[in-house]
Amino acid sequence: MSINVLRIDDRWYVEKTPTTGTRVDTDAATTAALLADRAAIGAAVTAAAIDLPSGRRQSPVTAPCRVVAQMTNFVSHVRDSGMDPATVPLTFFRKTSHSISGPTDDVVKPAHVRFLDYEVELGLVIGRDLPVDAGIEDLEGVIAALVVTNDVSARDLQLPKTQFFEAKSYPTFTPVGPRLVILEDGDLDRLGALRLRTWFDGELRQDGVVADDMIYRPLETLRALNRFQPLAAGDLIVTGTPGGTALKAPPKPIEIIGALLPPATKWKAFFKSQAKNPHYLRDGAVVELEIATDDGGLHLGRQRTVVRFAPGSEQ
């Protein structure tokens, strides 16, 4: 059975109930060091529960670390993007770990960003160091834990520049948590049953199940990534989002016409139309994300953040 760990005011706790838990007796200051201290985690699992402190819930994935993300990895999102799921390659991009924030921290939109979007994603936390091309045969020990992540995206920066790094790397653009769900025997077998959901001001916007919707599964993903990228304990791999984001491809006839226009003209017209789209994040919006199996046997927790526009932002 998985072990749910919280990070509160720089201290680690094994969660027993929503309000009780046990302090992990460890000097670990990073996620990697915590995962290495299995004796302390095990002792906390069996110790008597106490009331959890009321302090700030922090990201259970600590920075600095590598944050690597997959592009268009759910069938429903690929179709929303106007592409064919059968032809989408396995591709990656990087995010700065400086973008990591806590599960209840505000998501802050920079003043120069106009169109801010949400993406619920399953985060894989690496459990051991792997040199390039280590030959990953299975996921045991490679994936130590799972987390809820939101891959917040500035669409008006992402699309015209045709690169993701800046658009997804601003501070607070990767809320993580609340739980670090440390996997035990048999938990990996349940990854396919995980359901990813997003609510925007109480309205369900995203709802996808890994087994039904994910294109490239974690083992294939990590093998492909490790062919060129070393991995280290505590690294975070985020694995794509279901359909239902604010951004969607325009109808085919409009897309064909747009392809004939100069890039600057095309994007000006596209974002003029997007200004009428009510689904982008707005100031004061409440974004809730949850990843769990339908029976609750594997539950990564529910994340709740509020969107705040920096001074000078367009409303």
* Average pLDDT for the chain: 93
Q: What is the DSSP string of the chain?
A: --EEEEEETTEEEEESSSSEEEE------SHHHHHH-HHHHHHHHHSPPEEPP-S-B--SSPSSS-EEEESS-BHHHHHHTT--GGG----EEEE-GGGEE-TTSPEEE-TT---EE--EEEEEEE-S-B-TT-----SBTTEEEEEEEE--EEHHHHHHHT-STGGG-STTSEEB-S-EEE--TTGGGGGGGEEEEEEETTEEEEEEEHHHHBSS-HHHHHHHHHTT--B-TT-EEE----S--S--PPPHHHHHHHHTS-HHHHHHHHHHHHTT-TTS--TT-EEEEEEEETTSSSEEEEEEEEEEEPTT---
Contact, 62 vs 28, CB < 8 A?
no
Structure tokens, 286: 């409440």
- Count of Cβ atoms closer than 10 Å to residue 217 Cβ: 15
CA separation, residue 119 to residues 17, 168, 169 (Å): 28, 11, 14
Q: What is the pLDDT of residues 173-229, one digit of tens each?
A: 999 999 999 999 999 999 999 999 999 999 999 999 999 999 999 999 999 999 999
Write down the CATH superfamily of domain 60-246+280-309.
Fumarylacetoacetase-like, C-terminal domain (3.90.850.10)
Percent of the chain residues topping a pLDDT of 70: 94
pLDDT, averaged per 10 consecutive residues of the chain (315 residues), comes to 96 97 98 98 97 96 97 95 93 97 98 97 97 94 97 94 92 98 95 98 98 97 97 98 89 46 69 89 98 97 98 78
Contact, 67 vs 231, CB < 8 A?
no
Q: Quick one: pLDDT at residue 163?
A: 83
Q: Quick one: pLDDT at residue 88?
A: 95
Amino acid at 216: Y
Nearest to 271 by CA among 256, 284, 260, 258: 258
